Structure 1
């Protein structure tokens, strides 16, 4: 009985073991992954290259000659301001005068002094006149005649003295008269030589030096008088009238009277940010826009690029604007004549590549 029970247990164990093995084999086959076929994703299309935006900078319109602030070199009261704003002026035209009447008087006195010096020099170079020579010769002849008379009288009285007919005092008087006549003849001869001889070189040099000094005094007086007058240095237009007749001006501080400029051609002085200075060069085309003219564009070209960085010149009313930005001054000449007011703020777009007009940013400083 006991042996039979053992066989049953062994048989049951074998059946359980076979069932476990079968379950393990089925589960392994269920978990075996099926092979995957991976397909390559399509490569993205290359992005089209975008042109860099044109460097943009704020600028202001100015005359081609720049703004010229003109004032006096002397302190005093203004006598006349002969122009008004908007008047066209010519080079050398008098624009204003200072109330200094003593300056023209100094010029006139210097002119008279120069005339006198030149006359004296001409006299020295020409020498004595013929009439002076004839007069000197006549004096010599007269002195010689007097000497002859004195000689005869002296010899006669000596003979009378030897015969004791004449006193010694009378003989001495005749001798003295003879000596005086001799000296007068020598003096007349010296005078004639002085008149008849040519002018000495040192006299000519001295007279010439006096003429030079007189001419220098005249130039000094004229230069001083010119400081009391303002003349236009160019052909242009009066842009601003700062002072009027009767006002005082000084040389201790800036007191301009008028500002002139040549507005026949205009330019824009732009503040290029230091980040864009490597993309700006002379000769590049530039487009100019102003808020007052809407979408209208003016064409220009870069004519000059500064060689040193500086502070901003053009400032806006934006409180967030950075004032410590370093900029490079760039001058853009407007290619065609345009009726733009001087001082107008403009937006400057410098085209670094051909066809860059279409990629202009909406820049407003």
Structure 2
């Protein structure tokens, strides 16, 4: 019992001493810390990728039932090409070239036939017909003379009536022959409209065949759609063209950054806003300005290495035009992943407000 009383007494003494010590300490005024600006106050952050101004173009062959085989590649990676330049030749090229040559030969044949019809009959045929007419006329003159003599002799009854009739029949036959030969000569020298139209139609058909053959030949050659640089070749000689196409091409003279801005931040972004682009792997910083704000909401294409990052976030693509100097520095880094900060109008005002809050004396001096 005495031990219990001693323990209670000691506890009471300790508590009283602690209370007295607490009352003797000065009260320290607690100041509320200044608010720290969030990332959105400094600008809109996003992941992005570097790509040419023209974007990366996947050059492919025309759609056919069976993928064609590449017979020849005319370029190499890093080559500068111009629009219309042949990049690759397919295995159907030789066959299509032969069809073009055959069609052109058919055109020449049809044109010669047309020229012949326009010129009429050959000179030799006309001359032979004229000689035949001349001989027939001579025979007709002789027959007419014999008929006149027969008529005189018939008056004196020197010839029979049958002989006279024979002479008359000979003259009639020769006159009909002469008329036929003269008509044939006119037909030979005359160009018939129907024959001319038929020949012209043959020429037109032959030329159309050439155009179709040339179109098929053009399909067997893959040409560059733009002026640009060869970025990658997917299909080699002897291989069939796959889903990736023959090669990738882009105009690297001007490089852009495509930032994937979260849909909740897109209303803060406007054309002309400055942007800072960081490439951590290369310890490089680039600069540019917003030139295009997308009109569609999609899903992320550039994924973060953060395991807790929202990979299914809905984003809007914002295109940033790099400064000329920075664009030249990264012209060979298409599709490189970057971190983008777009300086919005709110970020400028937030920076100013924070500087004023951190220096109240200066703010008062300015107000005075």
TM score, norm. by length of structure 1: 0.71
* Aligned position for 2:183: 190
1:275-314 alpha-carbon deviations (Å, 9 max, x no partner): 12212233332222211232x4222222222222222222
| Structure 1: distance between partners of 2:169 and 2:244 | 83
Is the CA contact 1:157–1:166 (under 8 Å) kept in the aligned structure 2?
A: no
What is the alpha-carbon root mean square deviation over aligned residues? 3.6
Is the CA contact 2:58–2:244 (under 8 Å) kept in the aligned structure 1?
A: no
Deviates more, 1:254-263 or 1:69-78: 69-78
Is the CA contact 1:78–1:245 (under 8 Å) kept in the aligned structure 2?
A: yes
Structure having the higher Rg: 1
Match of 1:339 among 306, 329, 334: 329
Match of 1:102 among 95, 98, 107: 95
| Structure 1: distance between partners of 2:349 and 2:322 | 17
2:134 is equivalent to residue 146 of structure 1: no
* Aligned position for 1:60: 49
| Structure 2: distance between partners of 1:317 and 1:288 | 17
State the Cα distance separating 1:148 from its structure 2 match.
2.7
Change beyond 3 A, Cα 1:55–1:47: closer
| Structure 2: distance between partners of 1:172 and 1:110 | 64
2:245 is equivalent to residue 260 of structure 1: no
| Structure 1: distance between partners of 2:271 and 2:232 | 31
* Aligned position for 1:324: 312
Deviates more, 1:186-195 or 1:105-114: 186-195
* Aligned position for 1:5: none
1:47-91 alpha-carbon deviations (Å, 9 max, x no partner): 899993311221111112221222322543322122222222233
| Structure 1: distance between partners of 2:263 and 2:148 | 115
Q: List gaps (5 residues or longer) in structure 2.
A: 1-31, 352-368
Change beyond 3 A, Cα 1:338–1:166: same
Is the CA contact 1:60–1:269 (under 8 Å) kept in the aligned structure 2?
A: yes
Partner secondary structure for residue 178 of structure 1: helix
The size of the alignment, in residue pairs, is: 309
Is the CA contact 2:86–2:224 (under 8 Å) kept in the aligned structure 1?
A: yes
Q: List gaps (5 residues or longer) in structure 1.
A: 1-43, 360-365
Match of 1:242 among 231, 234, 238: 234
Change beyond 3 A, Cα 1:47–1:210: same
Is the CA contact 2:292–2:320 (under 8 Å) kept in the aligned structure 1?
A: yes
State the Cα distance separating 1:173 from its structure 2 match.
6.0
TM score, norm. by length of structure 2: 0.71
Is the CA contact 2:41–2:350 (under 8 Å) kept in the aligned structure 1?
A: no
| Structure 2: distance between partners of 1:269 and 1:103 | 42
Partner secondary structure for residue 275 of structure 1: coil
Change beyond 3 A, Cα 1:48–1:324: closer
